[in-house]
A and B are shown apart, each in its own frame.
Chain A
């Protein structure tokens, strides 16, 4: 029996299959590219070649696109990222006390005490220091993002970069480049600035205790890991599947959900070949003018999102209930 977890994030869409012992047997890391439906379909198509529908005993979704993905695949559990990340980390190690998670467009800190989330925070209004910013800087410097971390490790003396704001950080980096500092020192300086920004912002007032897990796409950056270790003064653990922790958590939550309900709602890999269309329109029912998105599958409407009053989203009874499935 396999458990499918899907994490639809702003930058990447991750799919994992877990076996009965909750070990990862398959993982896919795809770029969302602004089209969550296509990304999920692409993932399912790859999986379809190796697995049958009957293999999947449960399916869960998480990430900012969790609602749309759940309608698409028929999810047993639809959970927010915080819970999913915490569940996955705790499955790996019961003693983890802090999770630092930096994704494409958000960063969060999760504090765990006695195996349960006791506090968390997410970046409020600023996305400086998240994955997409690092992506952009790597691109600007002409260094593949995968090697960005290795560069940082070569730094002799990291330069000080103003990390408060992404725009200022970038101009400061350009300034330092033009003064002739070497790229390694600048990249490590950037990592340290982002860590400082994270700890002063998201981590403000939070009691960060070991063991610390560093998850999310940015954890692949060795420079960031080193900068966190220097700032915190103890080891920061990057789990093997750090990019996939959200999806792993969703799969575990789905397994739990199915053990209660008895059967999965997973709709099968054939979905990969279905024709999905998302059409948006502005509802003119009231002054709020909600932007409503309608998802059509082979021409039939299967879901509606974005309306405040429920006029559209409540029309189809089989929609994933927002409250009950939280």
Chain B
């Protein structure tokens, strides 16, 4: 069994740690690129959302490198992500690829027993002892959390750094070096080192950078390729950004949701505008918009793939928040046709507007 996973932000690093720790054979697909998207678009339904197409590209590229088993998370959710695994299985089979899918889904959808059986399939491929397997899992979770924390720190500090570009360079180096590590333990050490180096980046604490929250559909905000590297761009402009949606947030949220105690802040904040879970992460998007206003951000950028059903609902709600709170929100829609020029123009104009609002003191700062 040779396992692979689709890309989503830094998840591949945690997955690598897990598979290294378990001692199973795996392929990390080549980093997301136009090549992966082209392969995916060629074989996917025209009107399916962007993440589906990129993921199909990932699978095929990984299969070419010998992968025979795909692990993905499911959702059985009332958004098209719930159909992903079934459609992708059919699609690959029709293309003549012999691959197994192991879909990790919530117990309420497939039952605890079935979930355990699926996890056991992965575990069975590992030659390690039970204790070692648990440790590998714990290490992978720690690595994911650390990665998300490092990323968040770099994105925030980009607005304060004395030498423009320091944080961005460190973040990129961190990803590359982590990927080269052979064992989870080595990875953890590397991540701690980069975390420390980020703390030491010389900062101008009197700086008052523009602060923007990144909200929207989970895949397109987390996966930089899909949003045309928006966080890197904003770092270049010296903007401090924050994104609540991370793989580690997702893990915590998913574990807590059966008890209905997940993300209490978002539940409270979204109450006036969207008090229901309507699928995808629409409620989170609305809640985050309100939360980022409360936290004194200058504005928010919502990103979602063309045709994303939940985010279309939140896009319709966001103008009301913008009006009520005098809090600008820019909505960006991405798909394989997104032209970079128009995209950059919108981002530049948004930043320009935030700066001018501030200098005219109509902003709340």
Contact = CB atoms under 8 A, between A and B. Distances in A.
B219 to A, nearest CB: 18
Interface residues of A, number: 31
B346 interface: yes
A317 interface: no
B213 to A, nearest CB: 16
A64 B342 contact: yes
B362 A80 contact: no
B35 A289 contact: yes
B259 interface: no
Interface stretch (A11-19, A204-212, A272-280): A204-212
Contacts of B237: 323, 326
A322 interface: yes
B184 interface: no
A308 B326 CA distance: 34
B30 A80 contact: no
Interface string A66-110: 000000000000011111000000000000000000000010000
A165 interface: no
Contacts of B357: 116-118
Question: Chain A interface mostly helix, strand, loop or mixed?
Answer: loop
Contact of B348 (A80, A204, A207): A80
Given A118-B357, A124-B331, A326-B237, A205 B34 contact: no
A120 B349 contact: yes
Nearest to A122: B346
A205 B30 contact: no
A175 interface: no
A25 interface: no
Given A80-B349, A82-B353, A116-B362, A205 B320 contact: yes
Interface in A177-217: 204-207
Contacts of B182: none
A114 B349 contact: no
B360 A116 contact: yes
For B229, B337, B360, the residue with the greatest tally of chain A CB atoms inside 10 Å of its CB is B360
Given A64-B341, A287-B30, A323-B237, A205 B349 contact: no
For A81, A116, A204, the residue with the greatest tally of chain B CB atoms inside 10 Å of its CB is A116
A9 to B, nearest CB: 11
A288 B33 contact: yes
B353 A120 contact: yes
Contact of B351 (A114, A119, A308, A326): A326
B360 A122 contact: no
B351 A287 contact: no
B33 A83 contact: no
B236 A323 contact: yes
B319 interface: yes
Contacts of B24: none
7 contacts: A81-B345, A82-B345, A116-B357, A205-B322, A288-B33, A308-B229, A326-B237
Given A80-B352, A122-B342, 17 more contacts: A80-B349, A82-B352, A83-B349, A114-B362, A118-B326, A118-B328, A118-B357, A120-B350, A122-B345, A124-B333, A125-B335, A205-B318, A205-B320, A289-B33, A308-B229, A323-B236, A326-B348
